[in-house]
Structure 1
Amino acid sequence: MTRRSDYHQGPVTLRGTQVPRTTTDQRLLDGTGPTDWVHSDPWRVMRIQAEFVEGFGALAELGPAVAVFGSARTRPDHPHYALGVQVGAALAEAGYAVITGGGPGVMEAANKGASEAGGTSVGLGIELPFETGLNDHVDLGIDFRYFFVRKTMFVKYSEGFVVLPGGVGTLDELFEAVTLIQTGKVTNFPIVLVGRTYWEPLLDWLERTLLAEGMVSPGDLDLLRVTDDVEEVVRWVTSHRHEGEPPEQRDV
């Protein structure tokens, strides 16, 4: 069991005085300070490359998978946690591996549901100042230093995103996925929002403000589906898989 004092920096675990005050991403993106980055940044490429290789190697044979996102702050006694367990279990029973950020809250709930249903439970962790390590329900876990490497793994190895109530990080993953579909970077990629009460105010704002001002196209809003029904989540994800298959590969 990972202790809260553990700090993960890629595959390395640090404790006590060894815990750094800044993250790898922060040091990479910080444009201030001396110009020794001219000499050090090319070497960072090797570390970035290594993270891609590690992720690709670990996930290449994962099989069909769906990423589930949601708040790390959700407590186990909250209805959203129970909903996350149901979503994880339903996806596993439908033959999908469940990929989360590997943290607590809704991520833990989805991993728990998938694991208890006999499915593959995956956690893609990230180095953060408040890092707590991967939750106990992760069967296959990878800790990343760089957000953009981790994001690539979510999109590359998922057939769709299921998004439960969450905060800024959840919205980041949601709108990045919408942008990738909108720009044709990924195709046949369902995004399902779970929890009508939570998500409908956001959808109303997108329609009444962004669409009304011409900032998005009408079809962009059709990329998002919202439901309270876990079975409907699985049906939408599965239907997209069949739409993306040649006719001879579809179930008859």
Structure 2
Amino acid sequence: MNTATATEQRRETVALNDEEGVKKIIVDTVFGLWGIVNNLTRLRPSKREHYRVTIFGSARIKPGHLAYDEVKRLSSALAEMGCDIVTGGGPGLMQAANEGARSQDSVERAQSVGIRVDLPFEQEVNPFVQEAYEHQTFFSRLHHFVIVSDAYVVVPGGIGTVLESMLVWQLLQVRHLRDTPLIFVGEMWFELVEWATRHMLRSGSELANPEDMTIPRCVKTVDEAIALLEGEHAHWQKNITPPRSDSNRDDSAL
């Protein structure tokens, strides 16, 4: 189809009772909008003041639980390094991470960010979020996490946490994300990676490559996660030129 013909078709009037014609316009328009959004997300600031760590975890664990206290300690240590802390902005371990980020009194305090999704049964943004973003869908919210994060830490969580961590794992696998740490903290994640290795690398019916199973770094304690991120943060500081953007992250495929 030549350009003139395509232009003529776009200008044709489509009656509302033309179901197929209306459907085609909607589909074409949605894909066009996705293309515009993907193109816009290629833009990055030339310099970002703070390394950004996203922490994924359960919305159900209450203050006073050991896991809550440990996640709070993790984010407090990261904020003390000068890292921004990004979460889903809700209760539970998300709140613990935001609370830990706010516990530092340094002059150059890192930001405590929450990226929310609109759900009928979810609570409001937790009180420790300084900068909140609201999304109508999980898809745009997940994309938002991807474009703002320099590292990911996954603490105990349920199905939502699995969804978030699997997306990052898959993007690293296909190199739409590069040089971005994915750290799993806790025994449950060791068991998840063991399950994936056992079933996906089964001899004769391989579903992944052996190196795919080494993408997430599994640690048992918060202290191990802090040590890993200290190294990553130091490396980032040495290369504080434009943050991971075009050369390291291919957002156009999201």
Fold-level similarity (TM above 0.5): yes
Cα contact 2:51–2:233 (8 A) shared by 1: no
Larger radius of gyration: 2
In the TM superposition, what is the alpha-carbon distance from 1:231 to its structure 2 partner? Answer: 3.1
* 1:177 CA displacement: 0.5
TM-score in terms of structure 2 length: 0.72
Which residue is equivalent to 1:26? none
Aligned-pair Cα RMSD in Å? 3.3
1:115 equivalent to 2:106? Answer: no
Residues 242/185 of structure 1: CA separation in 2 closer, same or farther (3 Å cut):
farther
CA apart distance, 1:183: 0.4
Letter in 1 for 2:159: V
Stretch of structure 1 that moved more, 60-69 or 213-222: 60-69
Q: Counterparts in 2 of 1:63-74, with a 5 A limit?
A: 63-74=50-61
Q: Report the counterpart of residue 87 of structure 1 in structure 2.
A: 74
1:86-109 per-position Cα deviation (integer Å, ceiling 9, x unaligned) = 111111111110000000001000
Are positions 1:230 and 2:222 aligned together? yes
Q: Distance in 2 between matches of 1:241 and 1:91?
A: 9
Matched, 1:205 2:195: yes
Contact 1:189 1:240 in 2 (8 A): no
Q: Is this contact kept in 2: 1:102–1:135, CA < 8 A?
A: yes
Distance 2:171 2:44 in 1: 24
- Once residues 223 and 44 of structure 1 are traced to their aligned partners in structure 2, the CA distance between those partners, rounded to angstroms, is 31
Bigger mean CA deviation after superposition, 206-215 or 67-76 = 206-215
Task: Tell me which amino acid in the other structure corresponds to 1:148.
Answer: F
TM-score (ref. length: structure 1): 0.72
The corresponding residue for 1:150 is 141
Equivalent residues of 2:90, 2:116 under 8 A apart: yes
Are the aligned partners of 1:62 and 1:97 in contact in 2 as well (CA < 8 Å)?
no
Match in the other structure for 1:134: 125
Query: What is the correspondence of 1:163-182 to structure 2 with a 5 Å cutoff?
Result: 163-182=154-173
How many residue pairs match? The answer is: 213
8 Å contact 2:76–2:101 — kept in the other structure?
Answer: yes
Which amino acid is the alignment partner of residue 172 of structure 1? Answer: L
Contact 1:191–1:224 (CA<8 Å) still a contact in 2?
yes
Which moves more between the two structures, 158-167 or 141-150? 141-150
- What does the per-residue CA deviation read over 1:61-113, in whole Å, with 9 as the maximum and x for residues that have no partner? 56310100001111113221112111111111111100000000010000000
Partner of 1:31: none
Query: What residue number does 1:17 align with?
Result: none
2:51 and 2:236 in contact (8 A); partners too: no
- Percent identity, aligned pairs only? 30
